[in-house]
Amino acid sequence: MEFNLNQNRSVIALLGAGSMGCAITKRIGANKTILLGDVNEKNLEERAKELRYGGYIVETCQVDALDQQSVRNFAQKAAGLGPVKYFIDTAGASPNQATPEHIVKLDLIATAVAIDEFSKVIVRGGAGLVISSQTGYMMSFPEDIEKQLALTPTDKLSELDFVKNEATANQGIAYIAAKRANHLRVQAAAATTWGAAGARINTISPGIIVTPLAYDEFEAAGEGYQKMIEASPARRVGTSEEIAAAGAFLLSDEASFITGTDLLIDGGVIASMKTGKFSLQ
């Protein structure tokens, strides 16, 4: 049975079919074609089934975010389905899931690649959203390093001394550097490639959000996360639905004057750090 008879539906492309990305997609996905992209075929089918049972029109594409051609094919498939109005990137690895080198490749460089590739297919009036992290606020970098992270051509990012050396010192620093780079790359893209396409792009930086994958982090570093919760003004974790509400707003026409910015949604953890109530060990 064909559930939606409307033609030329707008397309939502989601790279990384995790809890937060799918929650955002549910908020904005009615009467649109959703293209899910993920490296894990089983996860793709499970997420697609869940969305289809909710009445959404869903296509899938197995994509390796570390492979530029794979990401390019994903973007081109999205464009082949209709006008690409929305792009959401949640692909990434957490500190206790990967080596520093892998985190830099996936969370930093691969994100920059995806931003570039979707700038070529996003339609005028479209919007992009990269899911970053509160950790992008947890360490300051020299101005010249930030400029390099923001403006170096994507194919040269891996050659930067900072990326090859300082950023891979350990998993924590790699994650912080990658998430700060997300903010900077989106700022630059908003003013250049995405701006030239007539589209907007922003980042969201979640704090401690409970998802199935987050439990890996809690098991590996539960004491540190507990201290963050205790020090935060909100005194609790967040939910994917709370991130989805903010994400849906930033992607909507109501946010048409917002581009190149980051929305920190962390329950006040960074505020606690800035006021000395909490510090990283």
- Cβ-based neighbour number of residue 75 at 10 Å: 26
Q: What is the DSSP string of 59-89?
A: EEEE--TT-HHHHHHHHHHHHHHS-EEEEEE
Q: Is 175 a catalytic residue?
A: yes
Vertex 126, ends 42 and 238: CA angle to 5°? 55
Contact 262, 132 (CB under 8 A): yes
Q: Residue 37: enclosing H or E segment and its boundaries?
A: strand 33-38
- Can you tell me the distance from the alpha carbon of 279 to that of 182, in angstroms, rounded to the nearest whole number? 23
Q: Residue 163: enclosing H or E segment and its boundaries?
A: helix 161-164
* Residue among 77, 85, 105, 179 flagged as catalytic: 179
Tokens of 36: 């899910």
* Residue among 53, 175, 227, 277 flagged as catalytic: 175
Decide: residue 88, CB within 10 A, 0-12 exposed, 13-18 middle, 19+ buried: buried
Query: How far is C-alpha 160 from the geometric centre of its chain's CA atoms?
Result: 23
- Can you tell me the distance from the alpha carbon of 188 to that of 151, in angstroms, rounded to the nearest whole number? 7
Kindly report each contact of residues 236-239 with a partner whose C-beta sits within 8 Å and lies 24 or more positions away, as own/partner: 236/267, 237/207, 237/208, 237/209, 237/210, 237/267, 238/206, 238/207, 238/208, 238/209, 238/210, 238/265, 238/266, 238/267, 239/209, 239/210
- Any idea which residues carry the catalytic annotation? 175, 179
